Structure 1
Amino acid sequence: MTTTTRTRARHHDRRRAAAVLACAALLSAPALGAAAAPPAAPARDGIDRRAVQRALGELTATGAQAVQVRVTDGRRQAVLTSGSAHHERRTPVPRDGRFRAGSITKTFVATVVLQLVAEGRVELDAPVSRHLPGLLPDGDRITVRMLLQHTSGLANYTALIPVDPAAVPTPAAYEQVRYQHHEARDLIALATARPLDFEPGTAWSYSNTGYLVLGELVEAVTGEPYASAVEQRVLEPLGLRGTSLPGDRVSLPAPHAHGYARIGGQVVNVTRLNPSVASSAGELVSTTADLDRFLDALLDGELLPPELLAEMKRTTEVSPAYGLGLTVAPLQCGTSVTTVYGHDGGIPGYLSTALSTEDTGERLVASLTTAADPGEFRGQVELLAEAFCG
């Protein structure tokens, strides 16, 4: 659909949207999407900023401390914010703020793995043990594709360690875990000490463990840390200067909004943490501009050859809503369906989403920081409707 056609369409009643998003975040945090959105007012320029702003206001009234969003419609973009960057005082939310993007990291890692496939250095349907002998007890039965698509059966390590502030009894206890360094191989060993959740390839279950293994795979094949490979192959070519893979760095670059949690009855600023607990499953720090640029480039074929981009987007009966590091989600817009591609992310203090239509004509990148007492996060479906159901 052309920009002109989309603009004209918005001069009619906005169609109600039911968003079905099968995105999974690092800590299984709420994603942007669900239920039905009411009609919104028409826009004169293709993006109804007032309707988007209302949706953001709903989010900050029902569980978000701060929200920043970038909506793209053709050549037009709107960058809007709501809430406060701090709990303690009223502070404007930066329009170009950094945030922890959580599991959106997985799409970057999957892109690098598929680049290695294109170079003939990795085979999608080869066993992981070919490159990482002995790392997985079932490495001869688990393929690279299964890791990328969450069909490996590997237990999810984040369910086995106290990384969610809500699961920690006191602020003092959280201080004991939030700055800990974690080695990816130790977290993999923790998960593989448990039996497989199912026979590899027979079911779908979101597993951060699989993406730690993929980080190790990239290092084994390239001879450099996975973060260096992502920087050299994705960040630098696209000029994503606001994006980083921080390793053990606990602070966020300025500017940024702060995220909070209530622990043992006290409000705790959870912005600072050691992201090595997430590593190649979710440590990415980024901006809405950078994630928008990345998703646009990826789906436009700038990073992968056509046949591998098609593999990335392809779903199966076992994995009907997830390709290879990429969520594939149908949005029911009235009588039609718009399919969007992207990923969600969650990590203490931050929830994010980056979504695009296949032709990249309509895109949405949003990040919110959590309030001390999160609620329903109302406004998320309205935001999706404004971005994709015009």
Structure 2
Amino acid sequence: MNNNALHTVEAQIREQAAAYCESNNVPGFVAGVYHAGEQIIVAHGTANVATGAPMLDNTGFLFGSVTKVLTTTLVLQQVERALLDLDMPVVKYLPEFALIAPGAADKILVRHLISHTNGIDADLSFPDAKGRDALKTYVEGLASRCGTLFEPGEQLSYSNGGMIVAGRLLEVVTGMPFPDLLERDIYAPVGMRDSSTSAEQAILRSTAVGHFNDHETMAAKPTGMFTLPDTWGPAGGTPIGTIADLLAFGRTHLAGGVSPAGARVLSTASTALMQQVSYDMASPNVPPIGLGWVLYPFGDTTVLAMSGASPGGVSILCVVPEHDLVFTAFGNTSGAIMLQDQILQRLLSEHIGVQIPALITELEQDVDITPYVGTYRSDQLRIDVSIVDGQLEERMTYEPADESQERIFTEFAGGVTSAPPQRYVPIRPGLFSPAGYPLEAFDGYLRLLLVSYHDVRDGQARFRNGGGRLTRRA
């Protein structure tokens, strides 16, 4: 892609963002593309409807779970410095790490934390603690409140808990609070000059806030909660930065661990290790996972990706090593994920010539759906699955552990904690699509909307996977 081609991309993204935001009540959007030595950033709309502040090229936003790739990079730095070993049990470094079942935590290796194969059942656990002991408080609370979904290494389930434990592990082996370590060992060498680790720092510069659509007027209203508690820092609760900063971080992973500023952030071997498949569930809705990165196959091309939800906002970071491309974006309502998916697919197909095959080409007939009926549970979440009119119907119920959890989760979700029942049509045994969606909707990032069931024994599935997260048959 030459310089002119990237200017064409810039104009297209500007037009696409304006049209999408207008028709979908997204107040503001900002995106960036780096390709083969050239870089563009496009900003559109409003960063905060309460103040009318515009979304600018250098407006900051919450990284959300994109932070997980930064946290994983920090872990591998400590492996290189021989302070951590990926194949050692976590308890070797963190003796206080325990879960409800005695001995369950002892089997979890450092590797399991950053490959989402640890089985810690803590995905909606939001302990409210602030300051330098926040992660210590989080880990101490696991023993009394969180169990396991599966044996370590046995399955894959997107794990906020694993990343937070990894953050605490980093604090113990380096002797530094996680936010300070992130600033010293990622922000500084990568050249992420406008990134911060707290709302107190972010308020000093242009920063976007998330929004939720009012259910009566459908107008976007600013979130009542800017960040998640400090306990969620390493999983994506608090780090904030700009498009230029995330492009620099993505380029560091394109360049074998060397930042655009020329600093060695990670070894070539560690950078490559993060991009290798560490677990593959062999199901179209759950892309293979590396360390930190999710490895999205688009035909023969792999896109290293991570998206990040924050209260009323969504970010994405995609790195395409085979084509020297980085794409990153933020929109300040959750619906912006669709726009991010559209831009990514357009970049792949139109600008670098990647053939994107159909993920699902046809629906099998006469699939027996009875093995999937039942109740599935994970941390504070219950999913009741029944058969209605020959389709699966799922009812999701949030079951808060206490008032504090309920308050935080409700604010994070914009006040809506229950969804209407969702019908699913079988694609083939164990794989379902939400009713009413065209099959091509799942060719890109939104393949995460498909639902799969796994490990059928005695005519019953043991696990349900939605959005990369497992729930277990109760």
Do the two structures share a fold, i.e. TM-score over 0.5?
yes
Residue 59 of structure 2 aligns with an amino acid whose one-letter code is: G
Give the aligned partner of residue 251 of structure 2. 296
Residue 343 of structure 1 aligns with an amino acid whose one-letter code is: M
Tell me how far 1:143 sits from its aligned partner. Answer: 0.4
SS of corresponding position for 2:91: helix
Alignment of 1:362 onto 2:325: yes
Alignment of 1:381 onto 2:341: yes
SS of corresponding position for 1:186: helix
Q: 1:279 to 1:86 in 2, by over 3 A?
A: closer
Distance 1:188 1:262 in 2: 35
Residue 308 of structure 1 aligns with an amino acid whose one-letter code is: S
Distance 1:235 1:306 in 2: 19
Given that 1:258 and 1:349 are in contact with CA atoms closer than 8 Å, whether structure 2 keeps it comes out as: yes
Q: 1:86 to 1:120 in 2, by over 3 A?
A: closer
Within a 5 Å distance, the mapping from 1:131-280 to structure 2 comes to 131-137=93-99, 138-157=104-123, 159-161=124-126, 183-192=134-143, 193-246=145-198, 249=200, 252-261=203-212, 267-270=221-224, 272-273=226-227, 275-280=229-234
Give the aligned partner of residue 127 of structure 1. 89
SS of corresponding position for 1:379: helix
Residue 73 of structure 2 aligns with an amino acid whose one-letter code is: T
Tell me how far 1:340 sits from its aligned partner. Answer: 1.4
Within a 5 Å distance, the mapping from 1:11-90 to structure 2 comes to 44-45=5-6, 47-60=8-21, 61-88=23-50
Which one has a larger percent strand, Structure 1 or Structure 2? 2
TM-score scaled by structure 2? 0.63
Q: 1:199 to 1:318 in 2, by over 3 A?
A: farther
Given that 2:115 and 2:279 are in contact with CA atoms closer than 8 Å, whether structure 1 keeps it comes out as: no
Larger Rg: 2
Tell me how far 1:113 sits from its aligned partner. Answer: 0.8
Distance 1:242 1:139 in 2: 37
- Is 77-86 or 105-114 further displaced after alignment? 77-86
Tell me how far 1:69 sits from its aligned partner. Answer: 0.5
Length, aligned pairs only: 327
Residue ranges of structure 2 left out of the alignment (5+ in a row): 259-264, 282-286, 352-474
Tell me how far 1:271 sits from its aligned partner. Answer: 5.8
Q: 1:209 to 1:307 in 2, by over 3 A?
A: same
Alignment of 1:321 onto 2:288: yes
Tell me how far 1:273 sits from its aligned partner. Answer: 3.9
SS of corresponding position for 2:94: coil
Given that 2:279 and 2:289 are in contact with CA atoms closer than 8 Å, whether structure 1 keeps it comes out as: no
Tell me how far 1:220 sits from its aligned partner. Answer: 1.1
Per-residue CA shift, 1:323-365, capped at 9, x if unaligned? 1111211224xxxx32111321111032101111115622111
Alignment of 1:348 onto 2:308: no
Distance 1:65 1:277 in 2: 29
Tell me how far 1:147 sits from its aligned partner. Answer: 0.3
Distance 1:388 1:204 in 2: 27
Given that 2:329 and 2:340 are in contact with CA atoms closer than 8 Å, whether structure 1 keeps it comes out as: no
Tell me how far 1:54 sits from its aligned partner. Answer: 2.9
Distance 2:279 2:226 in 1: 40
Within a 5 Å distance, the mapping from 1:74-113 to structure 2 comes to 74-88=36-50, 91-113=53-75
Tell me how far 1:277 sits from its aligned partner. Answer: 4.2
Given that 1:133 and 1:139 are in contact with CA atoms closer than 8 Å, whether structure 2 keeps it comes out as: no
Give the aligned partner of residue 287 of structure 1. 242
Given that 1:300 and 1:359 are in contact with CA atoms closer than 8 Å, whether structure 2 keeps it comes out as: no
Q: 1:92 to 1:381 in 2, by over 3 A?
A: same
Distance 1:274 1:46 in 2: 37
Given that 2:126 and 2:231 are in contact with CA atoms closer than 8 Å, whether structure 1 keeps it comes out as: no
Distance 1:340 1:272 in 2: 30
- Is 183-192 or 70-79 further displaced after alignment? 183-192
Q: Percent identity?
A: 26
Given that 2:60 and 2:202 are in contact with CA atoms closer than 8 Å, whether structure 1 keeps it comes out as: no
TM-score scaled by structure 1? 0.75
Distance 1:353 1:150 in 2: 18
Distance 2:49 2:304 in 1: 33
Give the aligned partner of residue 410 of structure 2. none
Residue 328 of structure 2 aligns with an amino acid whose one-letter code is: V
- Is 137-146 or 260-269 further displaced after alignment? 260-269
Tell me how far 1:184 sits from its aligned partner. Answer: 2.4
SS of corresponding position for 1:249: helix
CA RMSD in angstroms comes to: 2.8
Distance 2:54 2:70 in 1: 30
- Is 69-78 or 211-220 further displaced after alignment? 69-78
Tell me how far 1:272 sits from its aligned partner. Answer: 3.2
SS of corresponding position for 1:329: strand
Per-residue CA shift, 1:149-178, capped at 9, x if unaligned? 010000134x2449xxxxxxxxxxxxxx8x
SS of corresponding position for 2:137: helix
Question: Higher RCO, 1 or 2 (CA under 8 Å, sep at least 6)?
Answer: 1
Distance 2:250 2:339 in 1: 23
Give the aligned partner of residue 465 of structure 2. none
Given that 1:48 and 1:386 are in contact with CA atoms closer than 8 Å, whether structure 2 keeps it comes out as: no
Tell me how far 1:317 sits from its aligned partner. Answer: 4.2
Tell me how far 1:307 sits from its aligned partner. Answer: 2.1
Residue 203 of structure 2 aligns with an amino acid whose one-letter code is: L
SS of corresponding position for 1:315: coil
Give the aligned partner of residue 17 of structure 1. none
Q: 1:357 to 1:85 in 2, by over 3 A?
A: same
Per-residue CA shift, 1:242-300, capped at 9, x if unaligned? 11112x73863421233222579794443634641421111210100011001111231
